[in-house]
């Protein structure tokens, strides 16, 4: 049995070469879990790290209760790591936070107040602690994405989100998928809620993003999303007798 089924919320943490930040990451998440408004666990997703992060991840899981991990066979990028984590989640809700801790685990409780009503509850970095140039790039990318997708989302790059797992598992996988969570959830007729959350400067490691993947990649991905939106197949089952519960009704 998948052990995440014993929890209400699984928090995904994609990790790629974050060896320096693993100890503070473990401490902050361990401190949060007893205070979480829903019974929660942590699923660390190693995205093919080559700096010793995997050994650090295994040690965190050995030392701390409610910590689990999966390792990708090779580096696939943030979207691939998130999709792998979603596929390995069996709790009703699945959350996401970056390993750099520029957002705070305790703000999951802010989002949890709305998860029953909304299929995606996402943070908005109201007072970002990034450089002027980085903030400018994000504003440009967000504005273009909103124009192309009409998702109305303010800050899709905020690494603090909670989704309904059953809907998250239906999201199509493509490179850059993580930038389109609000649009994809809306495509599946889910509702989205945005809430302001804390933001902090990065204290360990280095950002994996630069001008190319913060502006050009989202630009290209928007056209890919519009192409996919017109062609995606969404099946909504009206009736069935395949599952055990349905079979019992017929007896």
- Give pLDDT tens digits along the chain (251 positions): 899 999 999 999 999 999 999 999 999 999 999 999 999 999 999 999 999 999 999 999 999 999 999 999 999 999 999 999 999 999 999 999 999 999 999 999 999 999 999 999 999 987 765 555 565 566 666 666 666 666 777 888 888 999 999 999 998 877 777 888 998 899 889 999 999 999 887 666 565 544 455 556 667 777 777 767 776 666 677 788 887 655 454 45
Mode of pairing for the β-strands spanning 93-97 and 67-71: unpaired
Domains along the chain with CATH numbers:
3-250 (3.90.550.10)
Q: Is 39 left (phi over 0), alpha (psi -120 to 50) or beta?
A: beta
Question: Please, are residues 122 and 161 in contact by the beta-carbon 8 Å criterion?
Answer: yes
Closest listed residue to residue 96, CA positions, set 195, 184, 15: 15
Coil, strand or helix at 209: coil
pLDDT of residue 137: 61
The residue to which tokens 């361990």 are assigned: 30
What's the pTM?
0.81
- Summarize pLDDT for 198-216 with one digit per residue, the tens: 988 766 656 554 445 555 6
The residue to which tokens 């989205």 are assigned: 192
Query: What does residue 17 show for φ and ψ, rounded to 5 degrees?
Result: 55, 60
pLDDT of residue 21: 94
- Summarize pLDDT for 22-38 with one digit per residue, the tens: 999 999 999 999 999 99
């Amino acid at each position: 049995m998948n052990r995440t089924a014993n929890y209400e919320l699984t928090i995904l943490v994609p990790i790629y070469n974050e060896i320096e930040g693993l100890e503070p990451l473990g401490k902050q998440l361990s401190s949060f879990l007893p205070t979480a408004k829903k019974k929660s666990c942590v699923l660390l997703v190693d995205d093919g790290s080559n700096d010793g992060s995997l050994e650090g991840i295994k040690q965190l899981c050995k030392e701390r209760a409610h910590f689990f991990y999966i390792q990708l066979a090779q580096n696939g990028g943030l979207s691939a790591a998130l999709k792998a984590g979603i596929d390995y989640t069996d709790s009703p809700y699945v959350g996401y936070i970056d390993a750099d801790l520029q957002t705070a685990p305790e703000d999951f409780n802010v989002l949890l107040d709305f998860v029953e009503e909304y299929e995606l509850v996402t943070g908005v970095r109201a007072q970002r602690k990034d450089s002027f140039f980085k903030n400018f790039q994000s504003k440009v990318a967000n504005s273009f994405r909103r124009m192309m997708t009409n998702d109305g989302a303010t800050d899709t790059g905020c690494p603090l989100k909670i989704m309904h797992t059953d809907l998250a598992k239906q999201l199509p996988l493509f490179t850059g998928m993580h930038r389109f969570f609000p649009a994809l959830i809306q495509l599946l007729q889910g509702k989205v809620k945005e809430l302001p959350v804390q933001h902090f400067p990065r204290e360990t490691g280095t950002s994996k993003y630069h001008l190319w993947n913060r502006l050009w990649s989202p630009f290209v991905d928007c056209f890919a999303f519009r192409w996919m939106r017109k062609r995606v197949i969404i099946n909504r089952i009206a009736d069935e007798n395949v599952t055990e519960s349905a079979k019992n009704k017929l007896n």
